[in-house]
Chains A and B, each alone.
Chain A
Amino acid sequence: MASNSIEMLNPAKHSKLRVNTKSYNCEQNHVNAASVIINELSTVVHEYPIFITKNNNTGDFQLTAILGFSNGENLYLKGDSWQATYLPIDVLRRPFQLIRPDENSTAEGHIAVDMSSTQLQDKKGEMLFDDSGKPTAYLQRIQKMFSELLNGSEQTRTLLAKADEFGLIEPVTINIDLNDKESTSLNGLYAIKQKAVTELKGSALEECHNAGILQVCHLLLSSGIHFDKLIKWKNNLEK
Chain B
Amino acid sequence: MDNLIKSIIIVGGGTAGWLTAGIIAARHRTRIKNNTLTITVIESDNIPTVGVGEGTWPTMPNTLRSMGISETDFIRECSASFKQGTKFVNWDNETEDSHYYHPFDVPQGALEGDIASFWLNKNFDESLAKLFTSQESICDNELAPKTISTPEYASFANYGYHLDAVKFSAFLSKHCIANLGVKHVIADIKKAELSASGDIASVIIADGSNLSADFFVDCSGFKSLLLGEALGVKFNPIDDVLFADTALAVQVPYEKSNDTIASYTKSTAQTAGWIWDIGLPSRRGVGYVFSSKHASVDEVKKDLVTYIKNTGVNTDELTFREIKFQPGYREKFFYKNCVAIGLSAGFLEPLEASALVMVELSATMIAEQLPKTTDTLAIIEQRFNETFHYRWERVIEFLKLHYIVSNRTTPFWQDNKKEESIPKRLQDQMTLWKNTVPTQFDFNRIGEVFQAASYQFVLYGSKFRTESLFDIDPAIKNFATEQITKNELRTKKLLTTLPSNRELIEQIHQYGMKKI
Contact = CB atoms under 8 A, between A and B. Distances in A.
Interface of A: 54-61, 104, 164, 169-171, 188, 190
Contacts of A56: 147-149
B511 A60 contact: yes
A59 B516 contact: no
B155 interface: no
Counting from the closest, the 10 A-B pairs by CB-CB distance are A54-B149, A59-B148, A58-B511, A59-B149, A171-B516, A59-B511, A59-B514, A59-B513, A56-B149, A58-B148
Given A58-B507, A59-B507, A164 B148 contact: no
A190 B148 contact: no
B342 interface: no
A59 B516 CA distance: 10
Nearest to B504: A59
Given A59-B150, A61-B514, A104-B510, 19 more contacts: A54-B148, A55-B149, A56-B148, A56-B149, A58-B511, A59-B148, A59-B149, A59-B507, A59-B511, A59-B512, A59-B513, A59-B514, A60-B511, A104-B511, A164-B516, A169-B516, A170-B516, A171-B151, A188-B149
Contacts of A104: 510-511
Contact of A57 (B151, B507, B515): B507
Contact of B514 (A57, A164, A188): A164
Given A59-B148, A188-B149, A54 B507 contact: no
Contacts of B514: 54, 59, 61, 164
A61 B507 CA distance: 15
Nearest to B515: A164
A191 to B, nearest CB: 11
Interface in B457-514: 507, 510-514
12 contacts: A56-B147, A57-B507, A58-B507, A58-B510, A59-B147, A59-B511, A104-B510, A104-B511, A164-B514, A170-B516, A171-B151, A188-B149
Contacts of A59: 147-150, 507, 511-514
A143 to B, nearest CB: 28
Nearest to A59: B148
B63 to A, nearest CB: 23
Contacts of B151: 171
A96 to B, nearest CB: 26
B151, B510, B512, B514: which has the most chain A beta carbons within 10 Å? B514
Nearest to B150: A59
Contacts of A169: 516
Nearest to A55: B149
B82 to A, nearest CB: 15
A56 B507 CA distance: 11
B72 to A, nearest CB: 10
Interface in B138-178: 147-151
Nearest to A193: B516
Contacts of A171: 151, 516
A114 to B, nearest CB: 22
A190 B516 contact: yes
User: In this complex, which of B149, B511, B512 has the most chain A Cβ atoms within 10 angstroms of its Cβ?
Assistant: B149
A55 B512 CA distance: 12
A221 B147 CA distance: 28
B516 A57 contact: no
A220 to B, nearest CB: 16
Contacts of B513: 59
Contacts of B512: 59
B510 to A, nearest CB: 8
A94 B514 CA distance: 30
Contacts of A55: 149
B509 to A, nearest CB: 12
A122 to B, nearest CB: 36
Contacts of B516: 164, 169-171, 190
Contacts of B510: 58, 104
B516 to A, nearest CB: 5
Contacts of B507: 57-59
Nearest to B512: A59
Nearest to B513: A59
